[in-house]
Structure 1
Amino acid sequence: MVKHDRVEGEQGMGGLGDFIRRHGSHILAHWEVEVRQLPYTRDLSRPRLLDHLPELLERMARVVESAQTGEHPTLEAVPEVHALERLDSGFDLDAVAEEYALLRACVLQLYGDHVASAGAEHMALAMREMLRFNRTFDEAVAAAVSRYAKARERTLVALDRISEAALGTEDLDTFLPRLLRVMLETTEAVDSVSLMLREGELLRVRASVGLEEEVTSGFTSRVGEGFCGKIAAEGRPVELRSAATDPLVRSEAIRVRGTRALYGVPLLYGGEVIGVVHMGSRTAFEFSHEDKLLFRAMVSRTTALVVQTQLAASERAARQEAEEHKQLLRLIIEQSGDAITMVDARGVVRIFNAEARRRQGIDLKEVGPSEWSEAYGLLTLDERPLPLEESFLYRALQGETVSDVRWKVRRPDGAVRTFVGTAAPLRLPDGSLAGAVLTARDETERLLREAQVDALVEAAPAGLALLDTELRYVHINEALATANGLPVEDHLGKRVSEVVPASASMLEPRLRQVLETGEAARGNEFSVAPANDPGVLHHWVADFFPVRGQDGRVLGVGGVILDITERERQEQKLRQTAEFRERFLGIVSHDLRNPLNAILLSANALLHADDLPANRLKTVRRIAASGERMGRMIAELLDFTRGRLGGGIPIHRQPMNLRHQCRHVMEELEISHPGRELRLVAEGHFHGMWDPDRLAQLLGNLGKNALDYSPPDTRVDFRLHDEGDSVRVEVHNEGSPIPCELLSGIFEPFRRAVEGDGHPTSGLGLGLFIVQRIAEAHGGTVEVRSHVGDGTTFIVRLPRYAGGSEAPGEAVSGSAPG
């Protein structure tokens, strides 16, 4: 034992109780020196070490003084509380007993020195007091040891029950309610226990006994807010005496239950708060030290179980994910469009996927490097057996990655296939070599296609070329090279400006535009004399398009250039022929009108002469009718010529009523077709700005067409429909539909159908062409519908006013329906 300084300088000689009271701090200072040598106390703070001891010495002083007063004071529960605190701090029973023994020794040694200095006359009293002190100290030790042992036994029983509750399951939601029920049943005053787990800055109720509504409602609390949030933020227990009314409590369930005592403890793991557990009571305002100590011990064990379960769940999830990845990898390998072969570190083939089996015509053969070539039919590009030292897979086993290698394979059926692929080493996380993998594609068909494409490109009459981003020739076919006047090989690597300097100023801006925008430029026409036909101007049309890599980047520009000189010549001839024909028709039709007018005037004069013999009257009438028919044909030719050469048929708009005009046309048709029935159906307004003469011509042509191509005993219908800003005109006749082969070109000029008796109709076949041109001149359209059983209907749509302008006020307001 450490030697203590003597207590001197005291005046008079009091008893042991008075000595303890006056020298308590000195006693505890000496005791602290001794007790700090115990291993359990070295990490204990001084306040925690001295907790309860000053009160214990004070009570001991009063008990010792009772040897003189005859009173019977007690130590009360101080030793028991002190023992529970030491149990919570990790002391075992021997350490608690040794702590008390050292305290006793310090008091007696210091007091003995004090008595020796005072003289022998006080020895009798001192001995009686020391006897009482020892007896009292023995009681304190006994009480502390008993309380410690009971609390220890109760704690061990509770911890065993918690361990049993968690046994056999690794599911938090299954065993947490069991653990909480053990906590509730272990402490008599407790009627609710809840556990919250931390999710970032949020605490969420995961299990509860007594407050199950917190679980069903998903009660949460933020760290730093409310009762549980305060515990999580500070990392220490918090106790409330009247929880139902305390503003710190945020749980409505606790308030409704009228909870009084509420004690919460953090779940600590590795210095971090992972959750909070709290117990509540509706009958007690506070929990005993023993209950709180027991609760903290159970929470500590629960923390370990929760962490263990979470780690196990994470491990299971990791294993499951790894297995899923393994299955996915196996599925990808089997379903890959590439042929995949894997070998282990010794070079033995272990994986040979479905594509490899299909392409090479054999199944997996677990052979080593010396047998690869023979087992799998590996050949060099010149079809020799592939030597091991040249094998890309063998090089990968040496740790080298080999890309874009090519080889051939002879299948069992004798066919030879060409493959291209990559061989790479397989390494473990520690960097050691685990094997190698070969990923290959069958290039046989692609190479054949490329050869075919090359042959087509070379044989193509059009010029084809590929250029890089600097406009240097990468590929050019023979046709374009010949036009440029240089061999193919003299183009490669040279710029456009070097090969065709005369055309570079025109071509290069368009090519660079394609490179910059990534968009094709089509229909580029230009004229230049080629090198293989000097002095003769040729016409060309070119399409330029971007050439992209697999990542979408523009790597160059391609061009297709076609010599259209001959086509231009033929088109020019056709245009000249058509123009000549149409000008000829215009001139002829115009020049014929003068003699024709003379014939008609003479015929009409004869018809009105009184002295014309009856036998000549029929001849004159025939001359007049033929002249009028020729007049109509000449008028149609003039309209046709205007439609093709004069910019369209001219019209002169004026206000008119389409219904009245239609009725007038129908009356003329009835005179020229006696016995035929014509009907007009019109409802609405039919005023507009149109050319009356041209619309009479349109309606007359459609009406005559309907009468000519329908049975004599059927009716022809004219229907007018008011459609607001436009009018729809329909002319319908019964009979056989227009043949499909004629329907598509029915509005073309010089097209004539055939009557039912097989004879062609009279006229030039310009009537419907003129109808279409008149409709278009008015900004309208015309279409035809012809079906078996429905007859034929021509439909004309005419805007009421030109250019979408509004109707003049007088043309609409106050006018009667058309």
Structure 2
Amino acid sequence: MLEPESRSVTREEPGGARTLRAAEFLREHRSALLSDWEQSMHALHADHAERHTWLLDHMPELLLALAEVIEHGPEGLGTALWDEHAVIRLDQGFDLGEVAAEYALLRKCILRRLEAEPRGLAPGELERLDEAVDRVVTRTMTCFSQARQRILQALDRMTQATLDNPSVDALLMRLLNVLMESALAVDSAAVMMLEGSQLVVRAAVGLAADVAVGTALRLDEGFMGQVATTRKPQALRSAATDPRVVMPALKEPGLRAVYGVPMLEDERLLGVAYMGSRTAFLFSDPDTLLFRSITQRATAYLVQARLQADERSARVEAQRSLAQLNALLSATPMGIAFMDTELRYMRLNQAMADLNGVPVADHVGRTFRDIQPKVIVDLIEPILHRALETGEPVRSFEFVLSPSASRGGGRTWQASVYPVRTDMGELLGLGCTVVDITEHKQAEATLQRAVDFREQLLAVLGHDLRNPLNAINASAFQLSRAEGWGPPERRAVDRIRKATARMGRMINDILDFARSRLGGGIPVSRQRMNLAEVCQATLEELQVSHPERQLVFEAHGDTWGQWDPDRVSQVLGNLVANAIQHGQEGAPVRTVVRGEPDEVVLQVHNLGEPIPAELRARIFDPFKMHPGPRDAEKQKRSLGLGLYIVSQIAGVHGGRVEVRSTAEEGTTFTVYWPRVPPSV
């Protein structure tokens, strides 16, 4: 080994020639050598443009340190700079061959510059240069290999720690134990997970581990908050005295060096991991690289564990949903099937298979045309294609098959077709439902015949009762004009006349009901009239029939318009009769006619018990009566058609009827009469 010589730039050789010292040559030509080396490195890493920005991080200092090694031999080698360079190159993703290549390029750049130099190296200087470069390369390679081996061993132990799929807390504890065993300078380590807006210690080992677990900090609080918000590794020299440290687990044990690393999934923060030492003020580069590598692997395991948990949860939920769907499909009597865009059966229930007369297993993968007879294919397949082409559902279409058409012939069916899409809008196929509605149609027809018969019977009955009733009424009128009757006889005649008047109104209601249901609606004969005058005359007639009740009338404004006076009188008579029947005895029945710009409003008001809310919605339906505690006997004499006839007459005139009923205000029926017919 050559010994170091005194330091000088040049040396006088015999004959007056001047020679160079290698160390000073490196110092003097440092900028040119770095430029040559950077160009060579760029060419070597042309496929990794992202490396170009930090290739020169350590080379200026390394070149000067190389000169020190040439001058002072192994004593000038040191450790920190070469080890730091090796660890950083390992962290930056270089492999061992790439690290050796950059030193080889450096040696080549130095030799090329020497060849171009007119002054030659002094005797022994080239050997010292080669030996120094070899020492640096050996030191860097050794550190690089040891650091990589250490990381690989730690990561291998981490992999083993995850083989049995432990819980998250158990996994974190195992990973921290691997760190403690791999880095002798580490006395404390913990993982803080982001939970909402806080960092919470989920696992800790070493000094004050029991104090650390469960500690929570705000996301921007203290040193750990700084690591989280900057999303970059941070280091402290004295955690016990640094004001940024707020965690007791870092202060109480008297920790010095603390190193924190963010746990990131891409740009998403999962938490912060830290390690501390009570003996060192700063962790070595190999230790910090090891910790970052373990933290990255732990983050990957956490993400994987979360994804696996989500997948398991989704699988369980999918199985539960599928079981519920299968139970629903099996239990429903409706035929249900799903077909793809080629109209192949993909899924169906037993009810659909029974309707088709083919087992469920024989449906799957076969087309609608393969399963169904031609008559059904010709009828239904165009509807299925239309739903696929338009993307619109076809709901509740009915079809009847002849007895010879298929297994389900001679019956009536109702089917619906719905396009099935993903959340992204992709069309997957069609969902189809089929239900047998034969019995329903038969029951509907039977009911309709019964209703038609009832309404026809009412019409015939009402029409045929008119003649004998008119005879009774005429006879009672003649008897009322006879002389010589005593008070009892006259009261009897009055009762006959009132009874026939009530029967006449009932028969009119029956005939109007029959016309509205069987004919073209209640007939009206419009003419120009004063609604207030017609209402006043009607009330005078009603007052004669009900002398015991006070009937009050008011009129305001213009009350002229085009209406049927007989129908107006019928509406008012029904409303007043209803008010007398259900209103408070002894209280007046008030009728108000009020002219508005486009219509005339008729209101009939009475005091008494309010109409129940559940009855108000259907009070204008036929054969519906307003129940009351004292109305049972009166209801026996009512058909429940009066309010229905009122609503029909108002509707024919283009108007409407409303009711308002409260215990405080009483009950008010309001009829709106447009002044002119709707067609006009």
TM class, shorter-length: 0.5 to 0.7
Task: Give distance in 1, aligned partners of 2:518 and 2:166.
Answer: 72
Contact 2:161/2:171 (CA < 8 Å) preserved in 1?
Answer: no
SS in 2 for 1:454: helix
Distance 1:553 1:591, change over 3 A: same
Pairing of 1:676-715 with structure 2 (within 5 A): 676-715=549-588
Distance 1:779 1:502, change over 3 A: same
Pairing of 1:23-38 with structure 2 (within 5 A): none
Which structure is richer in relative contact order (CA contacts within 8 A, separation 6 or more)?
Answer: 2
Q: Which amino acid aligns with 1:663?
A: Q
What whole-Å deviation, never above 9, does each CA across 1:402-433 have from its counterpart, x for those lacking one? Answer: xxxxxxxxxxxxxxxxxxxxxxxxxx9xxxxx
Work out which of the two has the higher radius of gyration on C-alpha atoms and give 1 or 2: 1
Contact 1:717/1:733 (CA < 8 Å) preserved in 2?
Answer: yes
What whole-Å deviation, never above 9, does each CA across 1:135-180 have from its counterpart, x for those lacking one? Answer: xxxxxxxxxxxxxxxxxxxxxxxxxxxxxxxxxxxxxxxxxxxxxx
SS in 1 for 2:425: coil
Alignment partner, residue 641 of structure 1:
514
Task: Give distance in 2, aligned partners of 1:784 and 1:367.
Answer: 77
Q: Which amino acid aligns with 1:462?
A: M
Shift of residue 785, structure 1, vs aligned partner: 1.0
Contact 2:413/2:436 (CA < 8 Å) preserved in 1?
Answer: yes
Provide TM-score, normalisation by structure 2: 0.53
Shift of residue 534, structure 1, vs aligned partner: 4.2
Pairing of 1:127-526 with structure 2 (within 5 A): 346=156, 348=158, 363-364=171-172, 366=174, 438=304, 439-440=307-308, 441-442=311-312, 443-500=315-372, 501-526=374-399
SS in 2 for 1:802: coil
Does the alignment pair 1:736 with 2:609? yes
Distance 1:612 1:496, change over 3 A: same
SS in 2 for 1:494: coil
Q: Which amino acid aligns with 1:774?
A: I
Shift of residue 754, structure 1, vs aligned partner: 4.2
Contact 2:335/2:433 (CA < 8 Å) preserved in 1?
Answer: yes
Q: State which drifts further: 662-671 or 482-491.
A: 662-671
What whole-Å deviation, never above 9, does each CA across 1:734-775 have from its counterpart, x for those lacking one? Answer: 122112333232112222334553533232221111111111
Contact 2:653/2:678 (CA < 8 Å) preserved in 1?
Answer: no
Q: Which amino acid aligns with 1:753?
A: H
Give 1:750's match in structure 2, choosing from 618, 623, 637.
623
Give 2:533's match in structure 1, choosing from 650, 653, 660.
660
SS in 2 for 1:551: coil
What whole-Å deviation, never above 9, does each CA across 1:380-403 have from its counterpart, x for those lacking one? Answer: xxxxxxxxxxxxxxxxxxxxxxxx
Distance 1:665 1:604, change over 3 A: closer
SS in 2 for 1:795: strand
Q: Which amino acid aligns with 1:710?
A: G
Q: Which amino acid aligns with 1:764?
A: L
Give 1:584's match in structure 2, choosing from 457, 473, 489.
457
Task: Give distance in 2, aligned partners of 1:454 and 1:521.
Answer: 24
Task: Give distance in 2, aligned partners of 1:753 and 1:688.
Answer: 32
Q: Which amino acid aligns with 1:457?
A: L
Structure 2 residue ranges without an equivalent (≥5): 1-152, 177-292, 294-298
Contact 1:349/1:367 (CA < 8 Å) preserved in 2?
Answer: no
Task: Give distance in 2, aligned partners of 1:618 and 1:784.
Answer: 37
Shift of residue 531, structure 1, vs aligned partner: 9.1
Task: Give distance in 1, aligned partners of 2:323 and 2:405.
Answer: 28
Contact 1:582/1:641 (CA < 8 Å) preserved in 2?
Answer: yes
What whole-Å deviation, never above 9, does each CA across 1:651-681 have from its counterpart, x for those lacking one? Answer: 1111111111121122222222225333333
Contact 2:375/2:405 (CA < 8 Å) preserved in 1?
Answer: no
Shift of residue 802, structure 1, vs aligned partner: 1.3
What whole-Å deviation, never above 9, does each CA across 1:47-93 have from its counterpart, x for those lacking one? Answer: xxxxxxxxxxxxxxxxxxxxxxxxxxxxxxxxxxxxxxxxxxxxxxx
Task: Give distance in 2, aligned partners of 1:675 and 1:595.
Answer: 29
Shift of residue 463, structure 1, vs aligned partner: 0.5
SS in 2 for 1:730: strand
Distance 1:722 1:616, change over 3 A: closer
Shift of residue 604, structure 1, vs aligned partner: 2.8
Distance 1:623 1:679, change over 3 A: closer
Alignment partner, residue 563 of structure 1:
436
Alignment partner, residue 648 of structure 2:
773
Contact 1:344/1:435 (CA < 8 Å) preserved in 2?
Answer: no
Alignment partner, residue 789 of structure 1:
664
Distance 1:640 1:350, change over 3 A: farther
Shift of residue 701, structure 1, vs aligned partner: 0.8
Shift of residue 529, structure 1, vs aligned partner: 5.2
Distance 1:532 1:464, change over 3 A: farther
Provide TM-score, normalisation by structure 1: 0.45
Q: Which amino acid aligns with 1:776?
A: G
What whole-Å deviation, never above 9, does each CA across 1:422-461 have from its counterpart, x for those lacking one? Answer: xxxxxx9xxxxx9887433121132122122112112210
Q: Which amino acid aligns with 2:516?
A: G
Task: Give distance in 1, aligned partners of 2:641 and 2:613.
Answer: 19
Shift of residue 800, structure 1, vs aligned partner: 1.4
Q: Which amino acid aligns with 2:650?
A: A
Alignment partner, residue 673 of structure 1:
546
Q: When the two structures are aligned, how many residues end up with a matched partner?
A: 395
Q: Which amino acid aligns with 1:763?
A: S
RMSD: 3.2
SS in 2 for 1:741: helix
Q: Which amino acid aligns with 2:581?
A: D
Distance 1:347 1:640, change over 3 A: farther
